[in-house]
Amino acid sequence: MRVAVTYAEPTRQILLELDVPEGTTAKEAIERSGILAKFPAINLEEQKIGIFAKLVEMDHVMSDGERVEIYRPAKGKPKKKERPAKKPAAKKPAADGDAPAGDKAAKIAAIKAKAAAAKKAKETAAAGGDAPAEELSPEEAKKAKIAAIKAKAAAAKKAKDAAAAGEAPAEEAAPAEEMSPEEAKAAKIAAIKAKAIAAKKAKEALAKKKAEEAGE
């Protein structure tokens, strides 16, 4: 039967045809063709072979008309250089003076509340009213209220005792002993603050009135 053996290099290629008996293997066909003498660099222990571009083993039994192809050793592909991982972009620091959204909202709310309180105080002073209760802290207002209740209760008790004894009730405030030192102090501070605020508002109202009269 007729078979062929072929091999190619970048600058040279060859195709050899030969007659071989039935049962000849691919390796035997290569050796009988004499191609190993023409290309001493061929190493059948390392290089692969195929029949019409399909890989086969050296002990493949040839058929009539088949062509044994000897493939050059595959050159390893160069490894790709690993690129260094990109560093995450650094976050831009907040500019000086910038405040978080929560702080800005709280600041705006405080400014609005302050403006509203000032407006209310101005309106109260213009109407000749007393100083608004908001001028005292909640704790001071509470203590002043408790002190007033105790003083009123003490005065009522004293009047009742005097009536039982046949005496005329004296119109006087409850003695300081009826309140604790802390309560008496809180009541005194609250009274001083209220008096100072009322005086200030009255002074502002008077000044405003004089300014209006001068303008007329």
Tokens 């970048």, residue?
10
> Which residue is associated with the tokens 């004894």?
165
Is 86 part of any domain? no
Per-residue pLDDT band at 170 (split at 50, 70, 90): very low
Is position 129 within any domain? yes
* Contact yes or no for 35/16 (Cβ under 8 A): yes
pLDDT greater at residue 53 or residue 166: 53
* pTM score: 0.36
Where is the domain boundary, 55, 70, 85?
A: 70
Question: In this model, does residue 57 exceed pLDDT 70?
Answer: yes
In this structure, the number of other CB atoms found within 10 A of the CB of residue 155 comes to 18
My answer on whether 126 and 194 are in the same domain is: yes
**DSSP labels for 7-36?**
EEETTEEEEEEEE--TT-BHHHHHHHHTHH
| CA dihedral sign, ordered 48, 51, 52, 53 | negative
Among 66-75, 114-123, 148-157, 200-209, the minimum mean pLDDT is found in 114-123
> At 22, which CATH number?
3.10.20.30
Assigned domain for 207 exists: yes
Residue 109 lies in a domain: no
Strands (E), 118-174: none
Rounded to an integer, what distance in angstroms lies between the CA atom of residue 121 and that of residue 127?
10
> What percent of the chain has pLDDT above 90?
30
Per-residue pLDDT tens for 92-149? 655 545 555 556 777 787 788 778 777 766 666 555 544 444 455 677 667 777 777 8
Q: How far is CA 54 from CA 47, 48, 50, 66, 191, in A?
A: 14, 10, 5, 11, 110
Helix-helix angle 181-215:138-164, to 10 degrees: 110
Rg (CA), the chain: 57
CA separation for the pair 26, 163 (Å, rounded): 141
Q: Note whether residue 112 is domain-resident.
A: no
> What percent of the chain stands above pLDDT 70?
69
Tokens 């007329």 sit on residue: 216
Encode pLDDT of 73-88 as tens digits: 877 655 666 666 676 6
Domain tally for the chain? 2
Q: Tell me if 32 is assigned to some domain.
A: yes
198: in domain: yes
Report yes or no on 94 lying in a domain: no
Domain that holds residue 65: 2-70
